[in-house]
A and B are shown apart, each in its own frame.
Chain A
Amino acid sequence: MSVAGTSPLRTIATGVLGLVVTAACGAGILSALGASPWEAYRLIAAGAFGSPERISYVLTAWTPLLLCAAGLLLTFAAGVWNIGIEGQVIFGAVFATGLLRALDPGVPAWAGVVLAGLGAMLGGALWGGLAGALRAYGNVNEIFGGLGLNFIAGSLTVYLVLGPWARPGIASTSGTLPFPDRLWLPTFAAPPLVVPGEAILGLVAIGLVAGALRGTQFGLRLKAIGKSSRAAYIRGIPVTRGLLWAFAGCGGLAGLAGYVLVIGAYSRHQLFPLISGGYGFLAILVVLLAGSNALAGILISAFFAAVSTGSLQLPLQMHLDSSISGILEGTLVLLALFMRGMQARLAPGEGDR
């Protein structure tokens, strides 16, 4: 949301303005449906922070967002759109499920869990690398390549859940046989909260990526490729290799998100169709808003996770669809984009010759 050269005060002011306008738009929609905006917002806040258990749910929703956002920091740095992130999440979940089914109960639980995590990263990285290869070698537009791979991943999940990995006797789209609790990711008690272990994983991941982008040759090269792939090439940077690694890296992190969605402490502990749950796309919104700022990414994904989790209360209590969270999140990003555009147009001489 920051335009080059603007003070942090101005950024905060634009942020606040964006939030206010978004809340107003949401209020308009809620009123149109005959619901009280105050009541709805209160419920969302309560649904997110009302009790320690709710906060655990928010943290659970936060993690896949963090992981996907971390991955997207890589691809956006390299200047590419990884629409295929949803498919990469799914592949991670698929690999994790497959490995756990194969290894358990022969292998000790902790080993199975760790290997499944590595396997998920591998699966996601492969699927991401494929999207990158299609773009680099097949001249395939990254949007359609990513979409196609998303669709394939989706079809694969349906096939697995209803076919080879179906629940014995009750094959249904609700998912595979849930994993026993010895395979669930651990939680940490920080009274009065119960912190799901994966939240730590998410924070570590985004921290590592931010560090890598700022402190490693690889990160610097990605940044160069993103700013000007032509100049980067002339300066001797291997552009194709960099892009492929960016895609694979993002895929790996997205795969980890899928892994967490399958065996997190508060997850459904099973593979089911639409397991990616839109986290990938939501993470794209997070990074569009946060830019390359990892701290902003952490805060914004926390905010989105809270809003999304809190909104789950609305169908029960007010007969409203929980998708209101998506409207709020999307409108905020849209306003940010538009305000950025207006600032650029109104700023004297900036962007001109």
Chain B
Amino acid sequence: MNLVALAAAVVGAAPPVLFAVLGETIAEKAGVINLSLDGLILLTAMAGFAAAQATGNLLAGFAAALAVGAACGLVVALGSLTLRQNQVATGFVLTIVCQNLAYVLGSPIAHVPGPQVPYTPVPVLQHWPIVGPLLFNQNPLVYASVLATAGVWWYMFRTQPGLTLRGLGERPAASFARGVDVIRMRYVYTLIGGALVGLGGASFSLAVKPGWSRPYGIEGTGWIVLALVVFGNWDPIRAAAGAYLFVLLQTLATVLQSLIPSAPTQVFPTLPFPLMILALLLVTLGNAEPVRRLLRPLPDSLQRRVTRVLRALQASPPASLGVPFEPE
């Protein structure tokens, strides 16, 4: 098995999940959970493909997907911030609505061919020894996804408004005390997050998994994206690592499935989903009481080392995630 080819395949297939994870990380960092991701990714994938297929223009497709993503973000924000409904409830219902909308509105374009994002290698760089085929022999979405990851990180950790973002979900009362319009900023970031999820959806139907069908085949990915945000500890770089891990598991599953011809290897493509949740549990389990009790009989130095690793892995959510903010 050519490792570089495998890695290149992973990098090539990652943009949809990567964009979605970045978008949801931003929204949750601001303090709003968009639980509708599983349905929204389907809807934006369908919308992106439909628009591109109808107009023959790829950009129109992406624009449509971004718009649908932002619109859904608006509904989530409205329900959570203005109407103060439970974010889990709103998001869950929207998942079902979006998924079914995708199926119904998408039935005319099922199994219909349409435009795809073309393969555009970067001229000189594609011939570099390992990095070449891995990073520069892909399509523009891959380049954009890598840049986006870096961009989101830079925004969050190196700019003034990014600093404010980090405080929004953490302690909105303190942000309010510093003159930040908490509700307005949360609206903005939820919309941006939704738009990025839309970009991820369009990346599926216009590149990684071209076309549309029912079922589309990526059902369940949205839930994984939510899990990846937690896995990534609400940090864009770590979340991106999680996204690549998930796509790697999916790629391996396909590879293994063809290598081992005996049944029932059809189960392999389903395995990355529970495995990813397992990875999430391992990361968050360090918090739990029984784990701490298990560690107690270990020798002191080993205990300290394990605790340090667990604490480094620990995922702690923005303290005010999902909690409505009421300016006193």
Do A and B have CB atoms closer than 8 angstroms in the complex?
Answer: yes
How long is the Cα–Cα vector from A154 to B83 in the complex, in angstroms?
Answer: 36
A-contact 0/1 string along B266-309, CB 8 Å cutoff: 11001101100110110011011110000000000000000000
Within 8 Å of chain A (Cβ to Cβ): is B127? no
Knowing A329-B96, A340-B85, say if A148 contacts B266 (CB, 8 Å).
no
Within 8 Å of chain B (Cβ to Cβ): is A143? yes
B83–A151 CB distance below 8 A: no
A144–B227 CB distance below 8 A: yes
User: With a CB–CB cut-off of 8 A, which chain A residues contact B100?
Assistant: 323-327, 330
A144–B230 CB distance below 8 A: yes
B281 to chain A, nearest CB (A): 6
A334–B267 CB distance below 8 A: no
Knowing A139-B289, A155-B271, say if A334 contacts B90 (CB, 8 Å).
yes
Within 8 Å of chain B (Cβ to Cβ): is A333? yes
How long is the Cα–Cα vector from A151 to B271 in the complex, in angstroms?
Answer: 8
In this complex, the interface size class of chain B, counting residues with CB under 8 Å from chain A, is 35 or more
How long is the Cα–Cα vector from A161 to B128 in the complex, in angstroms?
Answer: 47
B96–A159 CB distance below 8 A: no
In this complex, the interface size class of chain A, counting residues with CB under 8 Å from chain B, is 35 or more
Within 8 Å of chain B (Cβ to Cβ): is A188? no
User: With a CB–CB cut-off of 8 A, which chain A residues contact B101?
Assistant: 29, 323, 327
User: With a CB–CB cut-off of 8 A, which chain A residues contact B266?
Assistant: 158, 162, 173
How long is the Cα–Cα vector from A334 to B288 in the complex, in angstroms?
Answer: 35
How long is the Cα–Cα vector from A341 to B90 in the complex, in angstroms?
Answer: 11
Tell me the A137-153 residues at the B interface (CB within 8 Å).
137-141, 143-145, 147-148, 151-152
How long is the Cα–Cα vector from A143 to B264 in the complex, in angstroms?
Answer: 29
Within 8 Å of chain A (Cβ to Cβ): is B220? yes
Chain A facing B: main interface SS:
helix
B85–A341 CB distance below 8 A: yes
The total number of A-B Cβ pairs within 8 Å is 150
- Report which of B106, B278, B288 forms a contact with A139, defined as CB distance below 8 A: B288
Tell me the A81-118 residues at the B interface (CB within 8 Å).
81, 83
How long is the Cα–Cα vector from A211 to B89 in the complex, in angstroms?
Answer: 26
B89–A288 CB distance below 8 A: yes
Excluding A327-B100, A327-B104, A338-B78, 19 further A-B contacts by CB distance (< 8 Å) are A140-B285, A147-B223, A147-B277, A151-B220, A152-B274, A155-B274, A158-B264, A161-B264, A281-B96, A288-B93, A323-B100, A323-B103, A324-B100, A326-B103, A327-B97, A327-B101, A331-B97, A334-B79, A341-B82
12 of the cross-chain contacts (CB-CB < 8 Å) are: A138-B290, A139-B287, A148-B280, A151-B220, A155-B273, A163-B267, A166-B264, A171-B263, A285-B96, A331-B97, A338-B78, A344-B84
Q: Which residue numbers of A lie inside 8 Å of B, CB to CB?
A: 29, 32-33, 81, 83, 134, 137-141, 143-145, 147-148, 151-152, 154-155, 158-159, 161-163, 166, 171, 173, 281-282, 284-285, 288, 319-321, 323-327, 329-331, 333-334, 337-338, 340-342, 344-345
